[in-house]
A and B are shown apart, each in its own frame.
Chain A
Amino acid sequence: QQPVQSPQAVILREGEDAVINCSSSKALYSVHWYRQKHGEAPVFLMILLKGGEQKGHEKISASFNEKKQQSSLYLTASQLSYSGTYFCGTERRGTSYGKLTFGQGTILTVHP
Chain B
Amino acid sequence: KAGVTQTPRYLIKTRGQQVTLSCSPISGHRSVSWYQQTPGQGLQFLFEYFSETQRNKGNFPGRFSGRQFSNSRSEMNVSTLELGDSALYLCASSLDRGSETQYFGPGTRLLVL
- A interface residues with partner B (beta carbon < 8 Å): 2, 29-30, 32, 34, 40-44, 47, 49, 55, 87, 89, 91, 95-105
Contacts and interface: CB of A to CB of B under 8 A. Distances in A.
Interface in B60-99: 90, 97-99
B56 A96 contact: yes
Contact of B90 (A41, A47, A49, A98): A41
Interface string B43-60: 111001010000110100
A44 B48 contact: no
A55 B104 contact: no
6 contacts: A32-B102, A47-B101, A49-B99, A98-B33, A98-B48, A102-B35
A44 B101 contact: yes
A41 B99 contact: no
Contacts of A41: 90, 104-107
Contacts of A101: 45
A47 B97 CA distance: 14
Nearest to B3: A41
A95 B33 CA distance: 15
B69 to A, nearest CB: 19
A98 B103 contact: no
A100 B33 contact: yes
Contacts of B97: 97-98
